[in-house]
Amino acid sequence: MSTPPSGSDPWSQPSGSAGPAASPDLGGYAPAPYEAVGAGLPDYESPQPAGGSSSDFSQSSFPVGGPAPVQPARGGGKGTVWALVGCAGCAVIVLLLVLVLGFVLVLRPADQPEPATVEPTATTESDPATTESDPATTEAGPTDDPVASGAPAAEGERGTLEAPLPAGTMVTVEAADVDGRTDVSLGQVNWNADEVIAGVWEGNEKPQAGNVFILVTVTYTYHGEGTYSPAWDLNTDFTGASGTEYTWSPVLTPQNFTDAADLTDGQSTTWDVAFEVSAEDATAATGSFHVYEMLNWEDEGFYVAAQ
């Protein structure tokens, strides 16, 4: 294999020649002369904005042949505003529902058991707890009939705590707010009425340790104009042998004060009044009742012996 002569190359170009290299033989094909890119193309003009002037955009801001400026979309913030409005509306609805539920729970009355309506026959004479062998519970309850045979108090006679009127005396109390008067008669006293009261309604509270319930039947007869509510306008207190004064106890009784009707001329009603007293005063089986009109401050009322 022969080597090319020194100072030449395989293309017969002298080494180190400064002249142009001869084109190789391409089989008669001659390339077109080179032209600069972009020669003969029209000059680029910047797009004019709508309603604006060419001074708003500078050709130097974009390269030749570069992208045209993009106009910002109008109204693009409305979607965000409506979304915020929708969220706020949902929050308001939830808040209103919570408030309504809270009012319903707060205003809803607490469930309370209604006292059973028990007739006076709830305690009968056959009850072994009220046998004749126990003198303290001889009576099953207060007598149905008051001591009607008692003579009315003499005019001007009212009795005192130390010297009450005889037991069974009928007293007449003047009404305070209407033109009328009420005859009041007290029946016999049940000095141990714990079982009677417990049998009326299971919700009745028991007396405190060392105390017992006593019962007395009070009958009211009204004479006068309009109507009168003796269970609300008249009051009866009890003072025991010890000198302790007792107000009536708010337990349900066989003939309860809520059943005492409003009266018109000539009508009567009855109420079994209960008192929680000490066992000593109940055992003594004596004392006095104070009957008076609550709205008549000048009337001192009447004192009637309990036994």
Report d(CA 167, CA 302) in Å as an integer: 12
Please give the model's pTM, rounded to 2 decimal places.
0.52
Task: Give the residue, 300 or 137, on which the prediction is more confident.
Answer: 300
Share the mean pLDDT of the chain: 73
The stretch 272-301 carries a mean pLDDT of 93
Strands ordered across the beta sheet of 171-174: 171-174, 180-190, 211-224, 268-278
Task: Give the residue, 68 or 125, on which the prediction is more confident.
Answer: 68
- The pLDDT confidence band at residue 109, using thresholds 50, 70 and 90, is very low
**Would you say residue 122 has pLDDT above 70?**
no
Over residues 12-71, the pLDDT tens digits come to: 445 444 445 555 555 555 555 555 554 555 555 555 555 545 444 444 444 555 555 555
The stretch 126-147 carries a mean pLDDT of 38
Per-residue pLDDT, 86: 72
235 within a domain of the structure (yes/no): yes
Per-residue pLDDT, 106: 52
**Would you say residue 75 has pLDDT above 80?**
no
260 within a domain of the structure (yes/no): yes
Per-residue pLDDT, 177: 83
36 within a domain of the structure (yes/no): no
Task: Give the residue, 302 or 120, on which the prediction is more confident.
Answer: 302
119 within a domain of the structure (yes/no): no
108, 100 contact by CB (below 8 A)? no
Which of 83-87, 109-113, 183-187 is most confident?
Answer: 183-187
**Would you say residue 130 has pLDDT above 80?**
no
Residue 300's domain spans which residues?
169-305
Which CATH number goes with the domain that contains 219? Answer: 2.60.40
Over residues 176-224, the pLDDT tens digits come to: 888 999 999 999 999 999 999 999 999 999 999 999 999 999 999 999 9
131 within a domain of the structure (yes/no): no
277 within a domain of the structure (yes/no): yes
**Would you say residue 100 has pLDDT above 90?**
no
Strand 180-190, strand 211-224: pairing: antiparallel
125 within a domain of the structure (yes/no): no
- The pLDDT confidence band at residue 305, using thresholds 50, 70 and 90, is very high
66 within a domain of the structure (yes/no): no
The stretch 227-234 carries a mean pLDDT of 88
Per-residue pLDDT, 88: 76
**Total number of domains constituting the chain:** 1
The stretch 223-230 carries a mean pLDDT of 92
